[in-house]
Amino acid sequence: MKTKSKTVKCVVWDLDHTLWEGVLLEGDEVAIRPGIVDVIETLDKRGILHSIASRNDYDKAMAKLTDFGLEEYFLFPQISWGPKSVSVGTIAKNLNIGVDSLAFVDDDPFERDEVAAGVPDVLCIDAEDALSLPDRPELRPRFISEDSRQRRSMYQAEIRREQAAEGMAPEQFLRSLGMVFAISEASEGDLARVEELAVRTNQLNSTGITFSFSELQNFRRSPDHLLLVAGLEDRYGSYGKVGIALIERTDNAWLLRLLLMSCRVMSRGVGKVLLSYILQQAAAEQKPVLADFVRTPRNRAMYLTFKLAGFKEIERNDNLARLEHDLSIVDPFPDFVDVRTGI
């Protein structure tokens, strides 16, 4: 197993003298910098998102991006006259990712310094180096899954969901989605996404530990382990694979060595579905469930998920806790989601 290295999930671009040559509001005939479109498209195919933090007129800037045929690539663009550090933080919040998952590209050293001071975990890059972005290790995921290729469209579907939710009570909205939550044993074709999801997920991750492709393959083939994946879809489209569980089955108990859920489903009320399924299956075999939990600065939400599901802490060694569920009470699935299993 291995610990995580820094991974960039979204590149935030300045516009003037960065994405394009010239200054839009000075009346320049701005033109996209040579090679920038290739960079954007290459990263997009790897599942890396794009956004904008620019001091500019919003309507004029978006109109120009539309003229260039690029507006669809940029999620939650922040085009205003406020500090770019605030814009960068807003983008991270809207994407529901950590600021340490962002890279910021700008030609102005003052703006890069302002962002570095305001949100120091952001990777700041000089616009002169923009063409080398695809070669940076932070932007070269080891595997590129079908889910990662569709990541932008998944976020765009989420934007449509949020628009549909306006004016609706939360429970009414959840029921309107027609969610289907599918649980199955991981296939070999799932392993790239499993590794990717483990690297990218911080908040709902029980240990923060990732496993290599070969280790996952061994777990998948092992009779003593169960590697589960979960997918979610609704009437707006697929969320892709959103959950992973690695279970070690012994004669006396099931040990949950890794449990994680994508942060994108936190607001869908399905965060405990995979955990409930595991508890139900263990109860059928009359095996108590143990779980490892490693506290990180980001995963308190996962600890609360365990506690709300009925786990109790039985051991602790520094940041490593061992939790146990006696199966006396196992939560049912929410009635607003159709849970399907292929196991």
Q: What tokens were used for 304?
A: 């609360």
CATH, residue 108 = 3.40.50.1000
Shared domain for 208 and 334, answered yes or no, is yes
CB 271 within 8 Å of CB 230: no
Shared domain for 130 and 172, answered yes or no, is no
Model pTM above 0.85 = no
In the chain, what's the furthest Cα-to-Cα distance? Answer: 74
pLDDT in tens, 51-84: 999 999 999 999 999 999 999 999 999 999 999 9
Shared domain for 327 and 261, answered yes or no, is yes
Shared domain for 182 and 116, answered yes or no, is no
Buried b (16+ CB within 10 A) or exposed e, 191-227: bbbbbbbbbbbbbbbbbbbbbeeeebeebbeeeebbb
Residue 197 lies in a domain: yes
Can you tell me the distance from the alpha carbon of 278 to that of 284, in angstroms, rounded to the nearest whole number?
A: 10
3-state secondary structure 212-272: CHHHHHHHHHCCCEEEEEEEEEECCEEEEEEEEEEEEECCCCEEEEEEEECHHHHHHCCCC
Query: How many domains are there within the chain?
Result: 2
For residue 288, CA distances in Å to 167, 306, 325 come to: 43, 14, 6
Separation of CA 120 from chain center: 20
Residue 295 lies in a domain: yes
Shared domain for 227 and 123, answered yes or no, is no
Shared domain for 177 and 65, answered yes or no, is no
Range of the domain at 63: 10-139
pLDDT tens digits for the chain (343 residues)? 333 457 899 999 999 999 999 999 999 899 999 999 999 999 999 999 999 999 999 999 999 999 999 999 999 999 999 999 999 999 999 998 889 999 999 999 999 999 999 999 999 999 999 999 999 999 998 778 788 888 999 899 989 998 999 989 999 999 999 999 999 999 988 888 887 777 766 677 898 887 888 898 999 999 999 999 999 999 999 998 999 999 999 999 999 999 988 877 878 889 889 999 999 999 999 999 999 999 888 888 889 999 999 999 999 998 899 999 999 999 999 999 999 997 5
Question: 92, 120, 139 — which closes off a domain?
Answer: 139
The string of DSSP codes covering 22-67 is S-GGGT---EEPTTHHHHHHHHHHTT-EEEEEEES-HHHHHHHHHH
Shared domain for 186 and 78, answered yes or no, is no
Shared domain for 85 and 176, answered yes or no, is no
Shared domain for 93 and 189, answered yes or no, is no
pLDDT in tens, 226-267: 999 999 999 999 998 999 999 999 999 999 999 988 877 878
Q: What tokens were used for 75?
A: 């999620």
Q: What tokens were used for 56?
A: 């500019």
Map residue 79 onto helix, strand or coil.
strand
Shared domain for 219 and 104, answered yes or no, is no
Can you tell me the distance from the alpha carbon of 14 to that of 170, in angstroms, rounded to the nearest whole number?
A: 36
Shared domain for 135 and 242, answered yes or no, is no
Can you tell me the distance from the alpha carbon of 34 to that of 38, in angstroms, rounded to the nearest whole number?
A: 9
The string of DSSP codes covering 138-150 is GG--S---HHHHT
